[in-house]
């Protein structure tokens, strides 16, 4: 090696959108203080140490071993890392996605895979029965109308799928998710999903309909996908797809500029908690066993009911032909149709779908879908005793509970329970919650995301709750529900006002995003709509153009707010009930020869017992805490005999009383009275007006410091 010869540093790996970069050094010019040894050391250092072409400074976000052929990403630029000036993480959160829904519902409802070791051609192919022309795409025409016919060819032509209005084809191919990450997404909740009822009815399947078997498989495949991506980047822990099991780990991943993936569960019969003719098919032991298993799998959020009423809770109905089909499915599985009642408050469930559906042909002769009164829009089924046990079990395990899909009756009870314990772990991930619950969710410290509607509808809906986000200083999320049989934003048209112009910059300004190409197909949001997950960045750009930067700014704070809810859930400590096991007296107690309704039954820690007064107004229950404590919160779990007007009073001596809290609009259930912490030894509940012809009856009264 001569000292006067030029040397060439090896070519850098190609950067997406550019050719290989070659660096050429200037010829070495000898100096009298530079020896041959120093030159050799210099060359050796360049060969072994960190140089512009070494792994330490390489484009870490570009895989070194991507399979070929494969989908393009069509994003250039380094993903943002770190935090903002306030120490907050940045980025979008998809609070509701189904990466592996193709493995649920019997394995043949969603066609195509999220990834395949055999490559993209194996992953992105249609279900066997869809060939040659889609005539047997039964679920497509049940849910979407038409005859279901389509070109089944996926890779490399993609003539008819994926598409914004195709409900049965894979939309979550891993490279499309990668594009969303490169476009600024930093949190993805992968809801492991299936539905035993739909599986049992759907004629095409290649596996059993057992829900937990499917959930276990989907969890395994999520970890397999993580390993698959890691392999492209040089080994375990090096890829962008990172499964996280606590909020601190998630923050670290986001600060590294990678995608934090959280596991959730959305099934119709969790823990086997089906109901048949309103009889539960599970036990408390089943619930505990199921929660423990899910937690061990890494699951940190879940739904207790989905689409069909089960032994835990009633659902918020589906509309249209899909609602009719689901109502039929519920009858075939459980022997019961949905039942409605007049709503008790401003919140209401979705109108029940009554449009005709081909599913009605499966009903037994003489059985028809019921008709429903227009003024009775609420599901009569709320949160059952087993459902309450499950909700409290999730609280013990510091898990977050999804209230979307719950009937308003069930949701109200869940919020009552969480408010009584100041538990923040409540999520609404894709617009299935009545919007009137929003402030209660934010007040608890929960998180809200909106379904992936078109940019105009999404922006309008976001602005409806903008003042609440300002009040509680929180960000916003979206729930794509990809692979979730919901339908996605349609194209606005090539001539639409404020259409997306390609290429465009990412929200942080550090990346450039062009039209997405997979195989021989290139997608344009303006003309194709949100056909697959890779178009999430395009959709966000459409929101910016239609709804304004403020909506996108709230979305960009989504990751921080979601992790804030999760972290608050993990840090929650069950408060000490100062009233449990103390003594209590009352103005009266109902007499019964078979059981006791004595005052101390309201402070025995057992919700199966209760205090009940005589059947008249102006009744009271007095609790002696034994010594003076700072009291700031009182919870009242009413039996059916409740008070519409009552006061919570405090005293240090049992003689002089002050009103700490009062209401004239009590509606029963579980009430939480919050007030400024006040020293008190005695707590009195003074009933002024009854809500029924009975007296006042309390299962349990809790007294807390704050």
- Kindly report the CATH number assigned to the domain that includes residue 602: 2.60.120.260
* The token pair that represents 4 in the structure block: 């006067």
Structural contact between residues 699 and 609, judged by C-beta atoms closer than 8 angstroms:
yes
Look at residues 549, 571, 593 and tell me which one is the last residue of a structural domain.
571
Tens digit of pLDDT for each residue in 488-502? 999 999 999 999 999
Query: Which pLDDT belongs to residue 32?
Result: 36
In DSSP terms, 259 is beta-bridged to 241
Residue 599 — φ and ψ, nearest 5°? -55, -35
| φ/ψ (deg, to 5) at 678 | -135, 135
Would 59 be classed as within a structural domain? Answer: no
Could you tell me the pLDDT band of residue 38, with boundaries at 50, 70 and 90? Answer: very low
Task: Identify whether residues 544 and 598 lie together within a single domain.
Answer: no
* Domain limit, last residue, from 520, 547, 571: 571
What does pTM read for this prediction? Answer: 0.88
Does residue 489 belong to any structural domain of this protein? yes
Examine residue 533 and state whether it is found in any structural domain, yes or no.
yes
Average pLDDT of the segment spanning 41-61? 45
For residue 232, what are the domain limits? Answer: 92-361+384-571
pLDDT single digits (tens) 258-280: 999 999 999 999 999 999 999 99
Min mean pLDDT across 199-203, 204-208, 376-380, 637-641 is at 199-203
The first and second tokens of residue 387, run together, are 């459902």
Q: Does residue 621 sit in the same domain as residue 656?
A: yes
pLDDT per position as a tens digit, 527-553: 999 999 999 999 999 999 999 999 999
Quick one: 182 and 247 in the same domain?
Answer: yes
Q: Are strands 643-651 and 658-663 parallel, antiparallel or unpaired?
A: antiparallel
Q: What is the per-residue pLDDT for 21?
A: 34
Q: 174, 119 in Cβ contact below 8 A?
A: no
Do 346 and 465 fall into the same domain? Answer: yes
Residues 124, 15 within the same domain: no
Q: Is residue 184 part of a domain?
A: yes
Q: Which two tokens stand for residue 250?
A: 């998630």
Question: Do 553 and 593 share a domain, yes or no?
Answer: no
* 3-state SS assignment for residue 289: helix
443 found inside a domain: yes
Check pLDDT > 60 for residue 56: no
Determine the Cα–Cα distance for residues 70 and 50; give it in Å rounded to an integer: 31
- Same-domain status, 563 and 618: no
Whole-number pLDDT of residue 263: 98
Q: Would 372 be classed as within a structural domain? A: no
Direct distance between the N- and C-terminal alpha carbons of the chain, in angstroms, rounded to an integer: 77
Mean pLDDT across the chain, nearest whole number?
91
Give yes or no: residues 522 and 624 share one domain: no
Residues 239 and 271 in one domain: yes
Q: Which of 571, 597, 621 is the last residue of a domain?
A: 571
pLDDT of residue 3: 35
pLDDT of residue 565: 98
Tell me, yes or no, whether 659 and 523 share the same domain: no
Would you say residue 368 lies in a domain?
A: no
In this structure, the answer to whether residues 592 and 563 fall within a common structural domain is no
Closest CA to 674 of 633, 636, 616: 633
Task: Give tens-digit pLDDT for 115-138.
Answer: 999 999 999 999 999 999 998 988
Q: Is pLDDT at 8 greater than 60 in this prediction?
A: no
| pLDDT for the residue numbered 190 | 98
- The per-residue pLDDT for range 575-627, each reduced to its tens digit, is 899 999 999 999 999 999 999 999 999 999 999 999 999 999 999 999 999 99
Give yes or no: residues 339 and 470 share one domain.
Answer: yes
Domain count of the chain? 3
CATH code of residue 179:
3.20.20.140
Name which of 9-23, 87-101, 395-409, 608-622 the model is least confident about: 9-23
- 24's enclosing H/E stretch is strand 21-24
Higher confidence at residue 353 or residue 574?
A: 574
CA distance 29 to 482: 61
Whole-number pLDDT of residue 1 = 44
Residue 34 structure tokens: 């530079």
């Amino acid at each position: 090696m001569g000292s006067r010869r030029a040397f060439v540093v090896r070519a850098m790996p190609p950067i997406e959108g550019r050719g290989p970069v070659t660096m050429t050094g200037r010829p070495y010019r000898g100096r009298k203080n530079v020896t041959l040894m120093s030159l050799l050391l210099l060359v050796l250092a360049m060969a072994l140490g960190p140089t512009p072409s070494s792994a330490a400074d390489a484009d870490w976000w570009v895989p070194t071993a991507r399979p070929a052929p494969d989908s393009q990403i069509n994003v250039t630029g380094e993903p943002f890392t770190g935090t903002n000036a306030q120490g907050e993480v940045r980025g979008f959160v998809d609070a509701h996605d189904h990466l592996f829904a193709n493995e649920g519902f019997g394995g043949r409802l969603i066609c195509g895979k999220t990834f395949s070791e055999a490559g993209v051609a194996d992953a992105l192919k249609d279900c066997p029965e869809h060939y040659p022309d889609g005539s047997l795409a039964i679920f497509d025409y049940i849910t979407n109308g038409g005859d279901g016919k389509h070109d089944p060819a996926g890779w490399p032509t993609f003539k008819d799928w994926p598409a914004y209005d195709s409900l049965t084809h894979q939309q979550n191919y891993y490279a499309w998710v990668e594009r969303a990450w490169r476009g600024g997404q930093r949190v993805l909740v992968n809801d492991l999903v299936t539905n035993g009822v739909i599986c049992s009815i759907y004629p095409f399947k290649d596996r059993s309909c057992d829900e937990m078997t499917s959930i276990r498989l989907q969890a395994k495949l999520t970890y397999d996908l993580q390993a698959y991506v890691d392999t492209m980047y040089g080994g375990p822990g090096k890829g962008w797809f990172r499964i996280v099991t606590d909020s601190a780990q998630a923050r670290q991943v986001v600060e590294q500029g990678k995608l934090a993936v959280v596991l959730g569960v959305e099934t119709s019969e969790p823990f086997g908690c089906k109901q048949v003719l309103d009889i539960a098919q599970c036990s408390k032991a089943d619930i505990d066993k199921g929660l423990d298993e899910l937690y061990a799998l890494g699951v940190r959020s879940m739904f207790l009911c989905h689409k069909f009423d089960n032994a835990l809770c009633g659902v918020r109905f589906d509309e249209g032909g899909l609602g009719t089909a689901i109502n039929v499915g519920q009858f075939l599985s459980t022997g019961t149709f949905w039942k409605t009642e007049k709503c008790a408050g401003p919140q209401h469930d979705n109108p029940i779908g009554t449009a005709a559906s081909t599913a009605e042909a499966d009903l037994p002769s003489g059985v028809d879908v019921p008709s429903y009164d227009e003024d009775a829009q609420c599901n009569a089924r709320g949160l059952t005793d087993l459902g309450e046990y499950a909700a409290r079990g999730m609280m013990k395990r510091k898990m977050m509970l999804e209230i979307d899909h719950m009937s308003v009756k069930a949701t109200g009870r869940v919020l009552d329970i969480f408010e009584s314990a100041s538990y923040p772990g409540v999520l609404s991930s894709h617009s299935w919650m009545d919007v009137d619950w929003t402030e209660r969710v934010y007040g608890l410290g929960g998180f809200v995301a909106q379904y992936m509607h078109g940019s105009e509808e999404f922006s309008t809906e976001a602005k409806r709750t903008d003042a609440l986000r300002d009040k509680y200083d929180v960000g916003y999320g979206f729930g794509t529900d990809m692979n979730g049989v919901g339908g996605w934003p349609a194209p606005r048209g090539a001539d639409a006002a404020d259409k997306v112009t390609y290429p465009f910059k990412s929200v942080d300004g550090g990346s450039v995003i062009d039209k997405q190409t997979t195989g021989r197909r290139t997608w344009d949001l303006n003309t194709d709509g949100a056909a697959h997950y890779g178009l999430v960045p395009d959709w966000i750009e459409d929101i910016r153009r239609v709804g304004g930067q403020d909506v996108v700014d709230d979305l960009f704070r989504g990751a921080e707010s979601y992790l804030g809810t999760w972290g608050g859930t993990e840090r929650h400590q069950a408060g000490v009930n100062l009233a449990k096991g103390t003594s209590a007296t009352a103005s009266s107690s109902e007499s019964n020869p078979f059981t006791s309704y004595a005052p101390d039954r309201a402070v025995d820690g057992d919700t199966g017992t209760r205090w009940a007064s005589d059947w008249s107004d102006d009744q009271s229950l007095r609790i002696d805490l034994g010594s003076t404590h700072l009291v700031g919160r009182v919870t009242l779990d009413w039996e059916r005999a409740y008070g519409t007007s009552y006061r919570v009073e405090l005293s240090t001596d049992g003689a002089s009383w002050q009103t700490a809290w009062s209401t004239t609009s009590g509606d029963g259930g579980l009430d939480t009275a919050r007030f400024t912490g006040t020293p008190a030894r005695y707590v009195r509940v003074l009933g002024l007006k009854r809500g029924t012809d009975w007296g006042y009856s309390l299962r349990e009264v809790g007294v807390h410091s704050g």
